[in-house]
């Protein structure tokens, strides 16, 4: 990466941090006004799209043209779909149990706890996880190996988006049927993994990493998809969801015993 590209990345990345803090602060104001912090989940995907657009708009003289186009389209497409899905799913719903439990245990000022531990934290996570996109938009150095990596990255992104969107659609259709109230979703992609949406999410970010990796400095951002995968499998994703389902869905232990927890595979007999 040339010196001017390093300077451009540092300046734009700092602007991205500021934009994210302002955006999540706005969501915090809405959440406080309506008494629900679950709105921040709908902002998660859109925040990544915002970073991609802002970075691309401020670095028009940097990066490889086709790689920039791929990174922006893939990030915005994934982020907006996710935000719309979560917003529709949460329409009229009560507070997310995760945030309710956290605030119930919070001492001192619950609003400050929510702002720092939910909104500011998510802003920082979005910035860090989106580093492959930020660097890929600025860095140059296309090569045959980089082009091959980008092709694999697009294929992985398509796989991830398809898995995530299909899993979300299947679950939404299942929940929409009154006959399934209180039942456990074990059909479609959910027969092969307990979390097709999380598996798809991880594939999307490994795909974005590979799309940008043709410009070698993007290799330095490998911890970003690693962190996203960890969050989904061991952080705030899978463990919290499964803890809730074990309490609310009869037969979950049997389902978990025969179904993969992340990577899809045929169920055990």
Q: What angle do CA 193, 195, 198 make, to 5 degrees?
A: 130
Burial of 4: CB neighbours in 10 Å, binned 0-12, 13-18, 19+: exposed
Please, what's the b/e burial string for 181-192 (b: 16 or more CB within 10 A of its CB; e: otherwise)?
eeebbbeebbbb
CA dist., res. 193 & res. 173, Å (int):
18
Instruction: Taking the CA atoms of 72, 75, 77 and 83 in sequence, report the sign of the dihedral they define.
Output: negative
Distances in Å between the Cα of 217 and the Cα atoms of 18, 74, 210, 240, 255 are 23, 20, 12, 35, 43
Distances in Å between the Cα of 140 and the Cα atoms of 71, 97, 225 are 14, 45, 21
> Could you report the per-residue pLDDT of 181-222, keeping only the tens digit for each?
888 889 999 999 999 999 999 999 999 999 988 767 788 899
The reported pTM is: 0.91
State the CB neighbour count (10 A cutoff) for residue 141: 16
Residue pLDDT tens, the chain, 269 long: 555 567 778 899 999 999 999 999 999 999 888 888 888 999 999 999 999 999 999 988 887 788 899 999 999 999 999 999 999 987 877 777 777 777 777 667 888 888 998 899 999 999 999 999 999 998 876 666 678 889 999 999 999 999 999 999 999 999 889 998 888 889 999 999 999 999 999 999 999 999 988 767 788 899 999 999 999 999 888 888 888 888 888 888 899 999 999 999 999 87
User: So what's the pLDDT on residue 140?
Assistant: 73
Q: Which residues contact 253 (CB under 8 A, 6 or more apart)?
A: 246
User: So what's the pLDDT on residue 3?
Assistant: 52
Q: Which of 131, 101, 138 is nearest to 118 (CA)?
A: 101
User: So what's the pLDDT on residue 232?
Assistant: 94
Q: Which residues contact 256 (CB under 8 A, 6 or more apart)?
A: 194, 242
With beta carbons less than 8 A apart as the criterion, state whether 122 and 38 touch. Answer: no
């Amino acid at each position: 990466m040339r010196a001017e590209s390093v300077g451009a990345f540092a300046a734009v990345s700092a602007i991205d941090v500021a934009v994210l803090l302002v955006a999540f602060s706005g969501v915090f104001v809405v959440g406080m006004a309506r008494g629900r912090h679950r709105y921040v989940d709908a902002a998660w995907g859109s925040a990544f799209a915002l970073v991609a657009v802002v970075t691309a708009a401020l670095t028009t003289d940097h990066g490889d043209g086709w790689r920039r186009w791929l990174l922006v389209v893939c990030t915005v497409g994934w982020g907006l779909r996710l935000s719309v899905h979560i917003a529709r799913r949460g329409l009229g719903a009560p507070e997310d149990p995760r945030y309710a439990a956290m605030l119930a245990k919070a001492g001192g000022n619950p609003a400050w706890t929510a702002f720092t531990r939910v909104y500011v934290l998510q802003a920082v996570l979005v910035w860090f996880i989106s580093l492959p996109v930020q660097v890929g938009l600025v860095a140059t150095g296309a090569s045959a190996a980089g082009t091959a990596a980008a092709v694999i990255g697009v294929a992985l992104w398509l796989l991830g988006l398809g898995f995530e969107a299909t899993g979300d659609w299947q679950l939404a259709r299942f929940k929409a049927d009154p006959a399934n109230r209180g039942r456990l979703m074990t059909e479609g992609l959910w027969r092969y993994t307990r979390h097709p949406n999380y598996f798809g999410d991880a594939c999307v970010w490994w795909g974005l990493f590979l799309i940008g990796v043709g410009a070698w400095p993007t290799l330095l951002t490998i911890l970003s998809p690693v962190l996203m995968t960890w969050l989904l499998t061991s952080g705030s994703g899978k463990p919290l969801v499964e803890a809730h389902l074990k309490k609310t869905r009869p037969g979950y232990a049997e389902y978990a015993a025969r179904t993969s927890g992340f990577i899809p595979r045929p169920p055990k007999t």
